[in-house]
Structure 1
Amino acid sequence: MKQFSRMAALLAGASVLAMTGCDNMKQIKHLPYPETARGEVVDNYFGTEVPDPYRWLEDDNSEATAAWVAAENAVTEDYLSQIPFRNAIRERLTQLWNYPKEGAPSKHGDWYYYYYNDGLQNQSVLCRTQQPGEAGEVFLDPNTLSEDGTVALSAVSFSKNGRYFAYAAAASGSDWVEIRVMDTETKTRTEDRIEWVKFSGAVWAPDSKGFYYSAYDAPKEGVYSAQNQFQKVYYHKLGTPQTADRLIYEDKAHPLRYFSAWPSEDGKWLFVIASEGTSGTEILCRKTSETKFRTLLAGFDHDYAPVDCKEDNLYFVTNEGASNYTLKRIALTAPAKVETVIPEHEKNLLEGVGTAGGYLFASYLQDAQNQVVQYDYDGRLVREIVLPAIGTVGGFSGEEEDTELYYSLANYTAPATIYRYDIASGESTLYKSPEVAFDPALFVTEQVFYPSKDGTQVPMFITRRKDMKLDGKNPCLLYGYGGFQINLTPGFNPSALMFVEQGGVYCVANLRGGSEYGEAWHKAGMLENKQNVFDDFIAAAEYLIAQKYTSSERLAINGGSNGGLLVGACEVQRPDLYAVCLPQVGVMDMLRYHKFTIGWGWAVEYGSSDNEEQFPYIYKYSPLHNIKEGVKYPATLVMTADHDDRVVPAHSFKFAAQMQHCQAGEAPVLIRIESKAGHGAGKPTSKRIDEAADMYAFLFQNIGVPYRPVGE
């Protein structure tokens, strides 16, 4: 407690400094931007001619692109290296990241498996113990799979009998993975090896003799940028080569659909879940004794997510006729018989359903915060589970024979804490609580609701110091996403904590396009309604300014992937509203996104420039195409990675080049291009810290507030 008291005094000093700012901060001049050749490419979309002068930057294998990347990185590094507190930020981030992290254990065979990171390991280590709470042993250390920690586990699964463990390994952040298998008795790797897998892991057959997986044919060219077509489902028998794997399902008529297999635990049924994009599914099924699949739940207008299969009944979560989702079951021997097990909640979103110990555990979202309810398989209420704190919950799932399970609970000021849950009594007891070098009592997270442009009330979490003054002088970072049914719930982020230590205000807006309030909330922010998302984000910024949390001169905005699109669109629509814009791996070219890798799958969310009715509204907000000459844009640090095969780096390359070409103000427009990294998943701790240090150094420098190390 003494160290917390001392830190409180130190942070109070830091807070005062951050709030008052420093008008005498050294102004840093960036090197001249690289000369970026402008081509003569012009596309015609239904009579509208659209120039694309940087089309050549889409070729990520060309020498010209490589030279441009090197030149841009040199300009960015020169600028960042001049920021006097860059290293101090990196040191503090390292301190905040450096605490032991342990995941919730799950039982497989005679062992309980869990992830552990001693603090700064690039990848968390999979450990195991025969008794929870006792010292365990290392089972698989992903850090040994590469010298620099850039190989990560993207999906893992155990065979039903616990004898075998399959993992999908991704190199340098790529979506392509390789599946390997380990014998849990000997802790050795078998000869099994599966290549050219994407968006799939190993799904074990109930007899533990093999597994199902989904893969593409090996690409002939453009491994990281070529469009992926004709995904197929295979069965792999242990001990045999991939060339001997049995084809389970393919669809030659629909090259852009993707599929995954899902077997029932009793071995009687095999399901294939088909998707045409990021939302909307169809479920096919057959008995394992048969060869032909039949359509069980048809069409792609709704979501169908399998939960369990018991006594020839498939339990599934769906939004068909239920915007907030419901759990239903369908009789496989009489498909016309569909029953509701858990009805739709009138307000709260049914985010998912897990199973363990013969019960169903429904996870709800109420105003972007988790609640968990336990039911029996007929939908009878067992109990509303009392959680130890408000936040985001994970882990309410297990095996039929389990009598207890372990779950995690985290929020903006508390890292993931693990609890043991007794399924019979409903009692939660503390299992593991991490210790971080800060005092959470100094901070507060509040939830506010603000009006968007059309009057819609939008929730936002605001994390700040309790002693902060609402005087309009505070540094503020506004984060958002707004798409693909993705919900932003409270989670622990050491980088954000460092920011609020300095007197900053960290804000997360729950924009339309997510599904915080069900499918209606999602649909209000997709396709022709996408502008609502940008309006929500702009309104959040205006609210923070009006309520004196911050000012335009101290406000930064940040988001990644679809959130990078959000930042880019809001920057070009309202450049006057922010001091700093920080788009990460953003979708910036809305007219060509669907031509690369898996981008076609996003057309159900965005629409497509190939569609005459959809082209106008996409073109109207596409960040790349709405940058205008003569405009003073905010300080901008575009961030991307050379191995991003989800949102290819050409989006960021072209956006940065056009922004540099058009910038009429003095604020820098830089691009940080990371090597041996991808879209973000599995990024090594060292790279995460380096990226965060650069981002926050750029932020503080360009709002005119110096970072002051804790302790000064």
Structure 2
Amino acid sequence: MHPRPHHPSTSPHSSPGAPSGPAPQPGADVHSRASAPRLPLVEELHGHAVADPYRWLEDADSPETLHWQQIQDELWLQHAAGLSNRFRFRTRIKNLSAVGSTTAPLWRGDRCFVLRQEPAQEHPVLFVDDVPLLDPQQLDPTGSTNLDSWQPSPDGSLVAYQLSSGGTEQARLFVLDVATGNLVDGPIDGCRYSPVAWLPDGESFYYVRFRHVLRHRLGSADDLQVLPGEASYGLELSADGRWLTISAVRGSGNDLWLADLSKDEPPAVIQKDVDAITLLSVGPDGRLYVVTTRDAPTGRICIGDPEEPLVWHDFVPADPEAPLSSLAVLDKVVLVGRTRRALGEIVVHDLVTGRRLGEVELPGAGSVGSLTSRPEGGYEAWFSYTDSVTPAAIFKYDASTARTTRWSDPPGAIGELDAETQELEYRSADGTVLRMLVIAKPGRSGPRPAILYGYGGFGQSLTPTYSAFALAWVEAGGVFVTANLRGGGEGGEDWHRAGTLGGKQKVFDDYIAAAEFLIAEGWTSTDRLALCGESNGGLLVGAAVTQRPELFAAAVCSAPLLDMVRYELSGLGANWVPEFGSASDPVAFEHLLSYSPYHRVVPGVKYPAVLFTVFGGDTRVDPLHARKMCAALQYATDSDRPIVFRLDQTSGHGPRPASTSIALAADILAFLSTHTTPPTTSSGDHPTPAQHGSPGEVGSFGWAGL
């Protein structure tokens, strides 16, 4: 933890005393039972008197907080019981999400590894050559265990995999023999989403444990430390096992090392303290491939010789309109994935010259997943494709014929969907042109209940994806809108940075401008417009609700960051200083306090209906943010619209069982439909949501951005 000299206490759950007697609150009677005691706690921070009346709610285990939570549980259950379409939504989302999922293949030797989830399964299952290898549900019938990550050895005979439980993402690493199913090594704790780089002999690998890069030999308890210092590290090993690339996130860029494992030498520094994101990889052709935003905010590709890793020359120049997303090196061509206007494309370049040869044919205008190919090269590459009405399927591109063919379909099927999409442009308060994707039933007009979804942070792009959550809402007569905001990755690194640090308010302005546009263009109205966001998107929703409460009828704030004065003191908050700034810095503090939703709640304001959804196993964003904000809104609101709090104690910030995700999404849509003049449906309609995207991705009710 870095020092925070201007915080009177560095404990995330410190409290100057037990709360005494509930203070009167100006909200409607519906919130009287939930009225929480307010502490007279005011701190002097950088010349500002900062009130924090609900500091005591930071301690999840205190008797006072547990009592508060019990009241919230009762209020939510009481409110949920009155959501008349709750179970209809749940039924429909289950049907719409029954397509299941599958991933692009990962080849090791002659073995093919994929993740596949059947419609009735709670979690994806790891298959090898169409045979189930690792099924989290078999390992733990309760459904609380997740397969967080996995990496086969070079010949595919072993798999290193990581399991966590209860949504905590605090994984332990194991090694499995693929042929026998026997456990070879593990458990090794402290491996949260650790990259694993196997050596060719299959006896050792490099990995990250407790934020340190180590070399591990199977069966040995004595790991060798490779680099000093803690960081968020990435690892990659060349197919021949000679070159190890190490990257470490540092501020808004990253540091890089390259190790020649044929020599007994420490890794060589390639990039340090440079304000750019750079990735290195030694391809199957032996060349060094460098993907960097240095002097190219949307990313350019350079090549060099790993023997002289500081000497690069341009290979594929940056496209200012299309950020790079993936790269695959084949025998005679290089495939480059890009995102243009939030839509995926794959461009074919000559392996020798980098000259553009053409594009890979895609099924439509949608999202393209990361490219995969055989480690040794070859002519084939695989990728996923999805759009707003098309479940993700896997396609194969054959460079020898320049043909794209469908390689694998999701295991389930759905009928024809009555929905269409439109990409619209709008302007933010400062004139910046932005885009949104609108999904609605064709042929309908006039104001309708609408959900405005956004994220706007960490360089994460929101691209079209099949979403049972969105489609269930649209089937019920609503409009689902995804806004591309500054802070995301749709326009490259400059676009991302425009919405960070002192520019964070621009993200909120973009979101509010999207709401105003939808109202002005007749898509919806203030009494029918709802907000929805998760994690960093929860901060977005909190900011919009507190800055323009009159614009919205309802909001869902899921796993949110809301107390931006103290966000660094809990969860993974200290890692996000490059995105938000630190409250210990007087300049950054001014920005943080200016938009911190918890500190902008004002008594006597008519706030919209708000549902907070939080998770007891969340180790990224502590639920304390939502507790404090919920208490503040319940005290302050002068509206009869409810402020309620839904706690799922057994889940976390990331992936969760399918049935849990379906129940959560159904509750969200039922809440929003009730408080936005519900869409009128016939008895044959089943308005029901499912996950927005796949677990663990932005827009999925399983968050990756934070």
The reply to whether residue 642 of structure 1 matches residue 636 of structure 2 is no
**Displacement of 1:311:** 6.9
Q: Contact between 2:343 and 2:367, CA under 8 Å: does it hold in 1?
A: yes
**Displacement of 1:395:** 4.1
Q: Which amino acid aligns with 2:301?
A: L
Alignment of 1:102-501 (within 5 A): 102-129=102-129, 136-216=130-210, 231-240=211-220, 243-251=221-229, 257-277=231-251, 279-288=252-261, 289-309=263-283, 313-357=287-331, 359-378=333-352, 379-399=354-374, 400-434=376-410, 436-440=413-417, 442-469=418-445, 471-472=446-447, 474-501=448-475
The CA distance in 2 between the partners of 1:417 and 1:286, in whole Å, is 37
Aligned length: 654
Structure 1: runs of 5+ lacking an equivalent: 1-27, 130-135, 217-230
Structure 1 range deviating more: 38-47 or 600-609:
38-47
The Cα offsets for residues 411-453 of structure 1, whole Å up to 9 and x where unpaired, read as: 111110222221211211123344543423x321110110111
Aligned CA distance change for structure 1 residues 148 and 341 (closer, same or farther; 3 Å): same
The reply to whether residue 570 of structure 1 matches residue 548 of structure 2 is no
Q: SS of 1:323's equivalent?
A: coil
The CA distance in 2 between the partners of 1:306 and 1:33, in whole Å, is 57
**Displacement of 1:561:** 0.8
Q: Which amino acid aligns with 1:85?
A: N
Residue of structure 2 aligned with 1:590, choices 552, 559, 564 = 564
The CA distance in 2 between the partners of 1:58 and 1:358, in whole Å, is 57
Q: SS of 2:626's equivalent?
A: helix
Q: SS of 2:372's equivalent?
A: coil
**Displacement of 1:574:** 0.3
The CA distance in 2 between the partners of 1:96 and 1:311, in whole Å, is 44
TM-score by length of 2: 0.89
The CA distance in 1 between the partners of 2:102 and 2:391, in whole Å, is 10
- Alignment-derived partner of residue 220 in structure 1: none
Q: Contact between 2:325 and 2:370, CA under 8 Å: does it hold in 1?
A: no
Aligned CA distance change for structure 1 residues 361 and 663 (closer, same or farther; 3 Å): same
Q: Percent identity?
A: 32
The CA distance in 2 between the partners of 1:695 and 1:30, in whole Å, is 20
Q: Contact between 1:233 and 1:260, CA under 8 Å: does it hold in 2?
A: no
Residue of structure 1 aligned with 2:531, choices 557, 560, 568 = 557
- Alignment-derived partner of residue 511 in structure 1: 485
**Displacement of 1:348:** 1.5
Q: Contact between 2:31 and 2:642, CA under 8 Å: does it hold in 1?
A: no
The Cα offsets for residues 123-165 of structure 1, whole Å up to 9 and x where unpaired, read as: 0112232xxxxxx321111112222212111211111111111
- Alignment-derived partner of residue 687 in structure 1: 660
Aligned CA distance change for structure 1 residues 654 and 200 (closer, same or farther; 3 Å): same
Structure 2: runs of 5+ lacking an equivalent: 1-27, 686-706
**Displacement of 1:524:** 1.4
Q: Contact between 2:335 and 2:346, CA under 8 Å: does it hold in 1?
A: yes
The Cα offsets for residues 59-93 of structure 1, whole Å up to 9 and x where unpaired, read as: 23334333322321221111101222211111111
The CA distance in 1 between the partners of 2:284 and 2:409, in whole Å, is 36
The CA distance in 2 between the partners of 1:181 and 1:648, in whole Å, is 31
The Cα offsets for residues 636-683 of structure 1, whole Å up to 9 and x where unpaired, read as: 00111111111111111111111111111111001111111111x221
Aligned CA distance change for structure 1 residues 118 and 675 (closer, same or farther; 3 Å): same
Q: SS of 1:553's equivalent?
A: coil
**Displacement of 1:523:** 1.7
Q: Contact between 1:30 and 1:78, CA under 8 Å: does it hold in 2?
A: no
Q: Which amino acid aligns with 1:437?
A: I
The CA distance in 2 between the partners of 1:401 and 1:391, in whole Å, is 27
Q: Which amino acid aligns with 1:189?
A: L
- Alignment-derived partner of residue 617 in structure 1: 591
The CA distance in 1 between the partners of 2:331 and 2:56, in whole Å, is 57
Aligned CA distance change for structure 1 residues 641 and 157 (closer, same or farther; 3 Å): same
The Cα offsets for residues 238-288 of structure 1, whole Å up to 9 and x where unpaired, read as: 122xx312211222xxx5x332333333333323211134x4101022322
Q: Contact between 2:572 and 2:620, CA under 8 Å: does it hold in 1?
A: yes
